[in-house]
Every structure is written in C-alpha cells, then in structure tokens.
Amino acid sequence: MESRPLIAQSDQTLLLDAHDPAFDEARAELSAFATLEKSPEHFHTYRLDPLSLWNAASAGLSPDAVLATMERWTRYDLPPSLGQSIRETMDRFGRIVLSAGPDDKTLRLSCDDAFVRAELHSSRRLGKYLEPDGDGFLVSLTERGTVKRELIKLGWPALDDAPLTDGDPLVLTLKEKRANGAAFSLRPYQQDAVRAFAGKGAPGTGYGVVVMPCGAGKTVVGMAAMATIQRKTLIITTNVAAVHQWMDELLDKTDVSRDNLGEYTGAAKDVRPITIATYQVLTWRPDKNSDYPHFDLFRREKWGLIIYDEVHLLPAPVFRVVAEIQAIRRLGLTATLIREDGLQEDVFSLIGPKRYDVPWKELEAKGFIAEAFCREIRVPMSDHDRLRYVACSTRERHRVAAENPVKKRVVRELLDNHSEDLVMIIGQFLDQLRELAAELGVPLITGATPNPERERIYADFRAARVKTIVVSRVANFAIDLPDASVAIQISGTFGSRQEEAQRLGRVLRPKAKNSYFYSIVSRYSVEEEYADNRRRFLTEQGYRYTIEAWEESEWVPTN
C-alpha cells in the first residue's frame, strides 16, 4: 500500500503521521511551504500561513506545485476550500511591483487592480507615502523599505524590481587551494545558494536570505556572493570572535589582502573595502534618547553588498536603518528564520525573501554536516527545591528549575560517557556556570571574558589541550569549533527555538564521529513547557528527539 502520511484540514492545518514510512520525505517537501506548529510523538501539525506561502512563491513554487505535493501525500481528499485559499494567498505575491520611477529620487509602485489600489491609498499608515500616478503610485526613494514593510502588513507583499546601486568595485576571487595547501571548491548546494541570491543580476534578485544549518558553510556562501558581485562589502555579525573568524576565512579562501580588511568593533573603527562590524557596536548609543552614532557606517561608504550574518538575530534598531538603504544588495545568512519577537515579516520585507533553503537532514545524509542525536534528560528536583519552586513567580520558577543542583550530577555522568570527546556545556545563568566550571576545573567563557582570553581558550579546545569548556549565551552566536562533538545544555532562554538551532549547530561541523546534543530539564516544571517549544525546531529539521526520565534513587535512565 502506498504511504500517505498527510491529513489536510479546511482550517489550513496539516497533520503529518510521524509513524508513516514516508514521513521523512513528506516532511522535507512540506517544509518548503508550511510552518511547523507542534511536534508531539504521533502527529506533527503544520500550518499554511501567508509568510510561508509567500516565501515559497518567491522561491519559484507555484500554487499548482504546492497542491501537487499535498495531493501526492494526502490520505484523504483535500478540502475544496484549501486549494482556493492557497491560490489566493500565493497570487498576492508579485501583484504589486516596485520599479524605477521617473527620476532618481522616485520609485513607481504598480498595481493592475483598481480595488487594491484604493485599499492601499486609503490605508492610514501606508497612504501618506503614496502619490497617485495612473495605474499606480509614486514613492519617494527614501521610503522604499517603509512602504514594503507596510505593504506586507496589509497582506500585499511587493516584488521589488527597482534598480540596485553598484557601489565601489572590489576585485575578489575564491582560491582553488587554501592556505594549508588543501584543495578548495564550492559544494553543489553552496553554488545553488549563490545563484539563487545573485540571479545573474536580473531585476528582483540581489537581495534575500539563505537558510543553511550551522556547519554547512554559510560564510563560504557569503564569500562566494562577494566574488560574484565584486563590490565593496560590509559584513555585520554577532561578536568580535565572529569578526575575526570572517577575517580568517577571507584570508584562507580568497585572494583578498589583509590591508583590504577592516574591523569595526568596540576596539577598532577601521573602514576598508571589506569591513566587518558587530551588531553591538552599530546599536550602541550614549543613552536611550540619543541617535545611534555608528549608523553612519551604512550611509557614508559606497557599499555594493551588505551581508547580515545570523540575520535571525538582527536587532530591531538595525531594521530602521535597513529600511533606508534598500538600494544596496543585501544577503541574510541564518540557520533558521524563526524569530521569537515575531519580526519574520520585517526580515522578509527589508532583507528579502528566502532565496535558498536546504534541509539539515539532506546535508547530514550526504556527509556535509555531522549526524546528530538529540536527547532530552528529565531529572527530579529535591524536596527543598520543589518547595522553593512552588512559592515563586513564573519568572523565578524558571531560574529555580534551571539551576537545579541535580543537573550537575547528570553532567558528570555524561562527561564520563564522553571522556574522549570535546564537550561544550552551555547555559543561561552565570552563577550556575561559574559554580559548575569551578567544580569541574574547566575554563569558563561568558560575555565578560576578554577577547584575547576567549580566543586562547577556543584555540586550546580546538587543539584538544582542553576537552571540556563551559560557555554562556555567547555559544548561541557564530563560533567555529569544528571538532566539538558533544553539547550539554543545562539551561536556556525560556522556549527560544532560534537558540536551540544555534546551540545544536555548535556540534554539526562534519567530522569522523557522530555528534550528541543533550538538554537537561527539571521534571514537572516550566522547563518542560519550554523544552516542548524548543524541541519543535529540531523536529522540524527532521531530527529524532528522544526523552528520558532519570530517577535520582537509581540514577540510571528509566524506560
């Protein structure tokens, strides 16, 4: 009998049978146009929301292709209303087009539907930016991003075909051999990602987001985009360590000279043809009523490309300046488009739609990233801590559960089981991390660790001079520890799925051995609720996630 794991419902939810033999194949196809909402043991729930369908449309999927996929996997007939809803939603993408205007200070917004034009013009938030002009409107060049953001809020995502500025030239070529003599070339999926972004310079390309798992070479895709566009580039990333990693990668894999690389951080303000900055320095200001003095970096130079590394972490203030500089090519790199603040729509409208997405499990199957085993270990709290827990507010309960002392015993047992591996212990609360690092006698890295000391510890860890390190939330961001094969998460930021993606990514660099990602959770606490939300991301990527309850009395896993 042919496998049909999908049940489609008229409320635009999709149920996928996790026990069906075709589950993995169907899940991979559904993820191109549907959003995972829940992933319990038996049936996973997806939703066909506008943003997921518009991203599919921007990537070239048609309503017919979406419906054909659902027809192939559905167990029962599709509800008649579902096809109509999908067509109407996807057909909204591209109905409104931004293109060159009559002069260099104006754009034209075209729409072939008089009723839609009336809706746009009557909008209190949008209408003030629109000047009627025949079958469309004229828009000030400086309002390009603002108009696109307001359009998507009205449910009319614009196709931006307006010209992009070239910026100053930059000659950059990818090497065929790395600095150590090893051969270097783009992997096929990296080539596909660059082509999807650059689009041979055609209108409507040169901006957007590439989604790839950590360890799949997003930095390489960024450098290949630079080599394709050949223009002065601003790269913005999460911290100083990531700035230095970008510099090392550029020197290792391109012919750029060190003199052409500039660091723009709290420690240095060096602007060069390739300048690498941090989000922190760009969003610094003397007080909350002052302007952001470093935003001038976006405007004063003739950039031809801006790369937003870890774009899912883009701070809200940066969205404001991004809205002003829509004429510059922009590439967002991320492992996940999930934002816990709900600003995915801003990423779509201001950075651009998703241009390329490759399933994590597909790269794992081909050996491009490590095979990972995800395991949640639920442990009890002592009677004393249970009493403290029930007497606390919800926010305080999170900390009591997260700092459960029983977790340290689990960490020690896991370290014994992985004595030959490089292990990262990752957590949220600094007091907990300091105490654990002191008891284990291993290095601790937090946001307060000076960059030279941080990089020395990372170097010792890469060389296996130190086999275990304890790391705070700085592990959420771009750090390159290719040989780490075990991550133990002892506490996290509530139910953040994007954090889960980043932490898992720390152990996904390809290597000869498998990788393990452990989450230690206090039983019968809010941590279990948060873990359910975080687990959703891993399940969406196709990982089998096991849950075990450990009883303190026996101190062995129970079935």
* 105 and 81 housed in the same domain: no
Report if residue 503 sits inside a domain: yes
Q: Which of 151, 72, 509, 68 is nearest to 350 (CA)?
A: 151
- Written as six digits, the tokens of 381 are 């709290």
Rounded to two decimals, the pTM is 0.80
Indicate if the pLDDT at residue 237 is higher than 80: yes
* 392 and 338 housed in the same domain: no
The whole-angstrom separation of Cα 495 and Cα 38 is: 13
In the sheet that holds 158-160, the strands lie side by side as 131-133, 136-140, 106-111, 96-100, 158-160
Report if residue 251 sits inside a domain: yes
* 404 and 289 housed in the same domain: no
Instruction: Give the CATH number of the domain where residue 331 resides.
Output: 3.40.50.300
Indicate if the pLDDT at residue 1 is higher than 80: no
Q: Which of 391, 349, 379 is nearest to 522 (CA)?
A: 379
Report if residue 171 sits inside a domain: no
The whole-angstrom separation of Cα 17 and Cα 92 is: 31
- Residues 6 or more apart in contact with residue 412 via CB below 8 angstroms: 440
* 74 and 104 housed in the same domain: no
What number is the average pLDDT over the span 240-262? 93
The whole-angstrom separation of Cα 96 and Cα 151 is: 9
Question: What confidence tier does 220 reach under pLDDT thresholds 50, 70, 90?
Answer: very high
Report if residue 168 sits inside a domain: no
* 499 and 402 housed in the same domain: yes
* 348 and 400 housed in the same domain: no
What number is the average pLDDT over the span 245-263? 94
The residue type at 41: E
* 283 and 383 housed in the same domain: no
What integer pLDDT is reported at residue 559 of this predicted model? 41
Q: Domain end: 358, 392, 416, which one? A: 358
Question: What confidence tier does 240 reach under pLDDT thresholds 50, 70, 90?
Answer: confident
The whole-angstrom separation of Cα 36 and Cα 57 is: 18
* 250 and 225 housed in the same domain: yes
When mean pLDDT is compared over 135-144, 360-369, 453-462, 527-536, the highest value belongs to 135-144
**Whole-angstrom Cα Rg for the chain:** 25
Which range marks the domain in which residue 136 is found? 96-160
Q: Domain end: 36, 63, 91, which one? A: 91
Indicate if the pLDDT at residue 132 is higher than 50: yes
State residue 220 phi and psi, 5-degree precision: -60, -40
The whole-angstrom separation of Cα 297 and Cα 295 is: 5
Query: Do the beta carbons of residue 143 and residue 129 sit within 8 Å?
Result: yes
* 151 and 294 housed in the same domain: no
What number is the average pLDDT over the span 178-191? 86
Model pLDDT for residues 466-505, shown as the tens digit of each residue:
999 998 877 655 566 656 788 898 887 654 555 555 556 5
* 516 and 550 housed in the same domain: yes
What integer pLDDT is reported at residue 101 of this predicted model? 92
What integer pLDDT is reported at residue 130 of this predicted model? 95
Instruction: Give the residue carrying structure tokens 């079958």.
Output: 135
* 101 and 87 housed in the same domain: no
Report if residue 262 sits inside a domain: yes
The whole-angstrom separation of Cα 320 and Cα 314 is: 11
The whole-angstrom separation of Cα 209 and Cα 257 is: 28
Report if residue 539 sits inside a domain: yes
* 260 and 347 housed in the same domain: yes
Question: Please, what is the average pLDDT of the chain?
Answer: 86
Report if residue 121 sits inside a domain: yes
Report if residue 444 sits inside a domain: yes
Q: Domain end: 305, 338, 358, which one? A: 358
Which residue did the predictor score with more confidence, 522 or 371? 522
Indicate if the pLDDT at residue 461 is higher than 90: no
Give the chain's domain count. Answer: 4
